[in-house]
Amino acid sequence: MKFVKKHLLILCFCLIFFDVKGFTQTQSVSKTDSSSINLVLNHLNNILTKKPDSAIILAKQIITASEKAGYLKGQAKANQYLGSIMINAKEYKSSIPYFENAINIFSQLKDKKSAADAIYKMAYAYNYLGESKVTIGYYKKALENYIKIKDSVGIAKTYNNLAIVYDTNGDYGTAIDFYFKTYQIDKKIGRTKLLGPDLNNIGQLFETLDIHDKAAEYLQKSINASEAINDSASLCYSYESLATVYLNQKKTEKALVLLKKSLLFSNVIPNDDIISLIYADISRAFLTVNKIDSAKVYLDKSLKISEQRQIPYNTAFGMIYEAQLFNKINKPFKAISSANDGLKTAKKIGSIPLEINLLIELKSAYAQIENYKLAFETQEKAINLSKDLNTGETIKKITALLLTKEYEKKEISQNAKRAIKDEFIKNKLNNKNLLIVIFIIITLFTIVISIILYLNHKKQKEANELLMIKNDEIDRNRSEIKDQAFELAAHNEIKDRLFTIISHDLRKPIHQLSSVINLLEENLLNREEMEHIMPSISESVKDTSELLDSLLFWAKSQMKGFKLRIIETHIKVFIDEKLNHLQQNAKEKEIQIVNEVANDILIKIDELLMSIILRNLVSNAIKFSNAGDKISISFSEDKDNFNLLVMDTGAGMNNEQLGDLFTPKVKSTKGTKDEVGSGLGLIFCKDLIEKSGGRLLVSSELGSGSEFCLKIPKYN
C-alpha cells in the first residue's frame, strides 16, 4: 500500500485530536471539517496493512463523522478502505457491501476515477469468490470508466485482470488479445516493472495451448526484463512458469532447478498464491520420477497454504496431484475422494482445464477398483469437456499465433515510425540551418539571393510534384490494401468455417473410435457388442472419408497448376452410381429420387469434381425436403454447355436466402428433420464448377422447392 510521506507533519498535528492507538475519540472525529477528515483518511491509508484491526475502527469512525458533516467523499473513501481491508484479510464476501457503498457515492459525486477504482476492486473480490461471469461484468464496467477518463494505468491493469479470467475459463483468443494490450500500454507509459509479468502471462498462455517454442521465447523475455531491473517478485513467477514448460516436456531436472530458484525468490515477496503453486509443481516433478515421499511432503505444504488462505484455484490444482499420488500408491478410494473434492472447487470457479485433469485421475481410480461403468462415464465427461474446451483448438492456436505476429509487426512498425520521425526532425533542423545561412547571404549579396531564390523555387516545385506523385501512389496503395483486406476477411470467414468442419465433423468419428479403443483396452466390450456397434462406426468413417475427399479436392483446386481429368462418361450410369449411397437417406425420409437422364448420353467430365458437386446438390435437396417430396435429375444441352438439373419439391428459399446462398456469411440451416451441416457445401460447388469453366445457377420459391442448374462446358 502507498505511503503518503509528504503529509506526515500535518498528520502529527491532526493526531492531537485523535487517539491513534485506541481510536476512541469518536465525538472529536464527528466534529471535524472535511480537511481534518482528509488528514485522517491519509493516516488510514498508511495503516491499512500494518494495523488492520485499528484501521477498521478508524474507518467506521470516519464514516460516522463524514455522515454528520455531510461529507460524501469522506464516506466513500472510508467505505473503499474498509473493502480493501476485507480483501487483505481474505474476507472477500464481506468486502462487497463496502465497495457498493463507495461506488454509489462516487457516482453521485461524478468522480469517475474513484468509482472505477472501487468497481475494479469489487471485481477482484468476486474473482476470488469464483464468480467469473460477475467478475468479467465488473471489470468491463471499470474498463469503460478508465477509457472515458483516459487513465492508461487503470486501462492496463483492467485488461490484465480480464485476460487472466478469460485465460482461466479457456477463452484463449480473448485472453491473448488483452495480454498484448496490457503489455503495449505498460511499455508505452514506461511501467518497466510490469513488463516482466506481462510477458510472463503471454508465455503461460502459449504453454496452455501447447505452443512450447513461443511459450519459452516469451518467458525468457520476461526473465530478461525482470533481471534488467532486479525485480525478484517477477523473476519468481517467470521461473515457475518456465519450469511448467519443462515439466510438460518431461524435462524434470531442468524444471526442478528453476522451481528451486523460484522458491528462493518467493521468500522476498512473500506471496502465498505463488508459493502454493511452486510447492504443487515440485510435487508434480517428484511424482514424474516416482519419488512419492518427496512429492507428498511438498503437496501437503501446497494444499495447507491454499486452504488456509482460501485460494480455490490452487486448491483444485493441488487436488489433481493428490489424486494422482493416491493412484500411484494404489489407494483408489482416497484418490476418488480427492478428485471429487477438487471437482467441486473447479466447477465453482469455472475452470474447465482443471475439471478435465481431475476427471482423468477419477477415471483411473474407478478403473483400479474395477468399477468400469463409472470409469467409462467419467471418461465420457472428460471427453465432452475436452470438446467444449478444444472445439476449434487448432483455430485458437492459429489465432493466438496470428495475433502475436500482428503485435510483433506492429511493434516493428512503431520502431520504424520513430526512426522516420527522428530522421524528419534531423532533416528539419538541417533545413533550418540552411535557411539561416541563406538569410545571411541575402543580407550580404543581393544579386546572389535572386539566384538562390530561383533555384530554391525550382527545387520546391520539383519536390511538390514528387510529393503529389507519392501521394497519388499512397492513395492507390491504400485502395488496394482496402480491397485486399475485404477479400482477406471473406477468405478468413471461409477458412474459419472450414476449420469448424475439420474440428467438428472430422473429430466426431475419431472420438467414437477413441472411446471404443479405450473400452477394448480395458476389456469392457465383448464380441457381440463390438459387432453391434461396428456398422455405425463404419458408416461414420465412410462419411468422413467422403468429406475428406471433398475438402482435399477443393484444397487442390486452390493451388496453382491444378488441372481437370476429363474423360468421356455415360452420364446416366454415373449419376445412378453416385446416387446409390444417398438413396438410403432419401428412403428414411420417404423422399423419391428419380434419374430422368436418357441411357445413351455420353459427355466429357472430371468424374471426381462432378461426384462432389452432385453429392452436395442431392444431399442438400434431401435435407430440405419432407416426406412425399420428389427429387428429379434431368439433362439438356445448348450450343456451349451440357445442362444438368437437380429439382426438388421441398421447402424452397426466400429472396434473402437466395442472395446470401453463395457468400461466406451464409449460415448453416437445419433440415426438415433437424439435420445439420457446415453451410459451405454450395460455396465449394460454385467455386469448383467455375474453376472448370462452368456455372451453377439456382432458382427457388419458398414452399415450392428449388432448382439447381449445373452448366457443364463442352470440353474439346
d(CA 518, CA 513): 9
d(CA 118, CA 38): 18
- Judging by beta carbons within 10 Å of its beta carbon (0-12, 13-18, 19+), is residue 1 exposed, middle or buried? exposed
Sign of CA dihedral 312, 315, 321, 324: negative
Q: What is the pLDDT of residue 394?
A: 40
**What pLDDT, in 10s, does the model give residues 307-356?**
888 888 899 999 999 999 999 999 999 999 999 999 999 888 888 888 89
CB atoms within 10 A of CB 280: 26
Q: Which helix (H) or strand (E) holds 507?
A: helix 507-521
Residue 715, SS3 per DSSP: coil
Beta bridge partners of 709: 645, 697
Q: Beta strand pairing status for 630-637 and 592-595?
A: parallel
pTM for the full model?
Answer: 0.49
**CATH code, 566-713:** 3.30.565.10
Lowest-confidence segment of 493-502, 525-534, 568-577 by average pLDDT:
493-502
CA 573-579-583 angle, to 5 degrees, is: 135
The three cell numbers locating residue 435? 535557411
Q: Could you tell me the pLDDT band of residue 81, with boundaries at 50, 70 and 90? A: confident
**What pLDDT, in 10s, does the model give residues 168-220?**
887 888 888 899 999 999 999 999 989 999 999 999 888 888 888 888 899 99
Mean pLDDT confidence for 264-293: 87
What string of DSSP letters covers 336-347? HHHHHHHHHHHH
393 and 355 Cβ atoms separated by less than 8 Å: no
Mean pLDDT, the chain, as a whole number? 80
Which CATH number among 3.40.190.10, 2.102.10.10, 3.40.50.1220, 1.25.40.10 corresponds to the domain 1-150?
A: 1.25.40.10
d(CA 483, CA 460): 34
**What pLDDT, in 10s, does the model give residues 393-434?**
544 554 555 555 555 555 544 554 454 455 555 655 666 676
